[in-house]
Amino acid sequence: MFLERWSLDPGVPFPNSMVSVVLPVSYGAGSEAVLKVQFPHRESDAEARALELWDGRGAVRLLAHDAEHKVLLVERCVPGKPLSEEAFSPAIDVICDLLPRLWLPDPQGVNTVADEAGYWTQSLRELVATQTLDMPLELVERALHLIPLLIDSSDDPVLVHQDLHGENILSSSREPWLVIDPKPLSAEPAFGLAPVISAWEFGHGREQVRQRVEILTQRLRIDLDRAIAWAFVRTVAWAQEGAVASRRHVDTARWLHEML
């Protein structure tokens, strides 16, 4: 349907797509793009809107979009090497350069961090109530305590990518590095550091997490305590999906909890 509508020639679908069907396509005189058919989910409902707002500045361009069927045609990154394959020092330099460009003020058309935190609160409370929690209760109780405090004291919102890890930043010919697959939120910049802080591909250990916290907050002039608190809350919220929690997320949550 969309291959015909947009005159696309399909390639073999990318093997590592988790919640979407994603495949390379060509069109016109050899131009390359990526066709993405999304699985409906609140975190990615506004992906097209975020790409529209960024308009190719630090992120892939949105070429076409069908909102009803949740289908996107986006710029393809070539050569497309993920930032996770870079050494830590150059990788963190790339992220520190990208983040301020992505943090557009007062974004419209995306969910707020308060909306998302409401879902986290409900989900965590259900895990406790149904006795299906697969992580230390003290971590969840601290996260539930911090969520309203952070929401009520948040700074002016910007557009953030709440899943900004090393696999979602790819090398490109148009710019050295471009962001893909946004899960956008309207949130304060301190929240925007959270996914990078918990990204284990940049080193999974107490000192590596602390190093990311210190570098990001110092270079981007973000309040240290708020960055740690948001990273802790988000890590706890993302730790368990289904019956089993990610041990790496639980580890990271413990280390951040020690820093609070």
CB atoms near residue 31 (< 10 Å)? 11
The size of the chain, in residues, is 260
The residues, ordered by sequence, that sit 6+ positions from 207 with a Cβ below 8 Å of its Cβ are: none
The catalytic position among 45, 93, 163, 223 is 163
Catalytic: 156? no
**Three-state SS for 95?**
helix
Per DSSP, the residues of 163-190 read T--GGGEEEESSSSEEE-S--EEEE-HH
d(CA 228, CA 146): 11
Q: Which two tokens stand for residue 46?
A: 């506004």
Closest listed residue to residue 111, CA positions, set 66, 60, 161, 68: 161
d(CA 102, CA 119): 24
H helices of the chain, in order, are 2-5, 47-54, 88-102, 113-129, 137-152, 189-192, 194-197, 206-220, 224-239, 247-259
What is the set of active-site residues?
A: 163
